[in-house]
Copies of this chain bind each other. A is one copy, B any other.
């Protein structure tokens, strides 16, 4: 998930993923969509995406067809669901904690940070 989010941080790689939404695309065809970049540059981006589990490759004769790996995408999106989920439960805890804190108002230096 870590690698996927890092991979997605790059705008070129996001554009590549967008390109793959509709189905398989050959590496060369992908590269053609980025006139500003050399083919090796695109190839390296594809490698990063593959390593991150966001795309899969398939050989078709000479060419390599890349396709989206939706599981990988969902896994990356997991961060957002994690950010949103269980919100009520945590809010309850937070409220209790805050109440306790407000009552005692302890500001002493007892080990606040665990290992």
B23 touches A94 (CB 8 A): yes
Q: Which of A22, A82, A93, A113 has the most CB of B within 10 A?
A: A22
Q: How many copies of the shown chain assemble into the complex?
A: 2
* Residues of chain A from 84 to 115 with CB closer than 8 A to chain B in the complex: 84, 87, 90-91, 93-94, 98, 112-114
- Tell me if A33 counts as interface (CB < 8 A to partner B): yes
Chain A contact residues (Cβ within 8 angstroms of B): what range?
Answer: 20 to 34
Against B, the Cβ 8 Å flags (1 = close, 0 = not) of A55-82 are 0000000000000000001001101101
| A interface residues with partner B (beta carbon < 8 Å) | 2, 5-6, 8-9, 11, 14, 17-18, 21-23, 29, 32-33, 35, 73, 76-77, 79-80, 82-84, 87, 90-91, 93-94, 98, 112-114
